Amino acid sequence: MSDRPTLMVLRLVRYGFAGRADFLGPISLRIGRGECWAIVGPNGAGKSTLLRLLAGLLKPRSGEIEFEGKPLGRLTARDRARRIAFLPQQMSGDLDFRVDDLVLMGRYPHRSLALFESAEDHRIAEQAMARTQTLAFADRLITTLSGGEAQRVHLAAALAQQPALLLLDEPTASLDLQHQLAVFDILRGQAVGGGPTVVVVTHDVNLAARFCTHVLLLNDGKAVASGPPGDVLTPAVLEPVYGVTLTALAFPNDPARRWLVPRHDTRVTAP
C-alpha cells in the first residue's frame, strides 16, 4: 500500500448498459497523488469504460467514486475540467488551429469572464509546450504535424489545464517506438515530478512495466490484480488472462521490473 496522500478512491464500482448490466465491476481502487497508473487488459476488458468513469463522463450503476475526498458526481462540469484532464483515444484530425492556440484552449476552464487569455495563461501554455517539446512548432497548424507531434500537442493542452488527475486512453496507439517512449517518459516525469497523477490505458505491458508506478489488470470487466508492475506484470498473472506463454527478462539495474516476451510456443486461445 502506497503512503502517498489519496487522490481518488473507488469502492465497489459497477457499470453496465442495456443487455449487459454487469459489464464492469465491482472495482475497488485507491489512487495516490504522484502515482502513474497503467490500466491494461485484453480487448473488451472494460479499460476505456473505467477511464470514463474516473473522468466523470459516465456514472456508475452502483458503488462510490471519491475525488479529493468528495463524491465525484457532485463536481460541476467546470470543476471537473479544472481538476481532471481527459485525453481520449481518438482526437479530431481536422482541427485547423495553430499549435499555440490549441494548447491555450487548455486554460479555458480557469478563465473568468475575460474575453482574452491572460499573460499567466500564456506562460502556463508555453511551459506545457516546453515540457512536451512542442515549442518548436508553436506557430504551425496542427494539421501539418506528424501523429507523434500532434499527440504531444494534445498532451500539452491537457497539461495546460494544470489538473490534479490526467487520464489518457491509449495515447501511443499508432505511434512509432520513438514517440511511444517519448510520450510515456513525459507522463512518468509529470507524475513523479510534482505534476498531475496519471492514469493511462495501454495495450503495451512493457511500457507499463518500464514507466508506471502501479498497474491495474482488467479482464472481462473484473479486476484481476493491481499493484506495482513487478507484482502484476508477471507470466503467472498475465498468461491466464491473455492466453499466451511469456518469458520474463529482468530490466538492467532494476530487478523488480521485467520485460515480457511471448515465447515461440505461444498458445493463442480462441475468443
Domain limits of the chain?
A: 6-242
Mean pLDDT of 116-133: 90
Position 129 scores a pLDDT of 94
Q: Is the pLDDT of residue 1 over 60?
A: no
CA distance 52 to 55: 5
CA distance 184 to 192: 12
CA distance 203 to 161: 26
Q: Is the pLDDT of residue 186 over 60?
A: yes
Which residue is it, cell 487548455?
106
Q: Is the pLDDT of residue 266 over 70?
A: no
Position 213 scores a pLDDT of 95
* Residue 19 pLDDT class (50, 70, 90 cuts): confident
User: Is residue 225 a contact partner of residue 208, using CB atoms and an 8 Å limit?
Assistant: no
Q: Is 242 helix (H, G, I), strand (E, B) or coil?
A: helix
**Cα-based distances in Å from 214 to 33, 168, 189, 192, 271:** 12, 15, 14, 12, 28
Q: Is the pLDDT of residue 171 over 60?
A: yes
What is the per-residue burial (b if ≥16 Cβ within 10 Å, else e) of 21-55? eebbbbbebbbbbbbbbbbbbeeebbbebbbbbbb
Q: Is the pLDDT of residue 117 over 80?
A: no
Does an H or E element contain 179, and which?
helix 177-192
Contacts of 170 (CB under 8 A, 6+ apart): 89, 201, 202, 203
- Mean pLDDT for all residues in the chain: 90
Residue 72 or 193, more confident: 72
214-219 and 62-67 beta bridge pairing: unpaired
CATH fold group of domain 6-242: Rossmann fold (3.40.50)
Least confident residue range of 88-92, 210-214, 236-240, 266-270? 266-270
Position 72 scores a pLDDT of 97
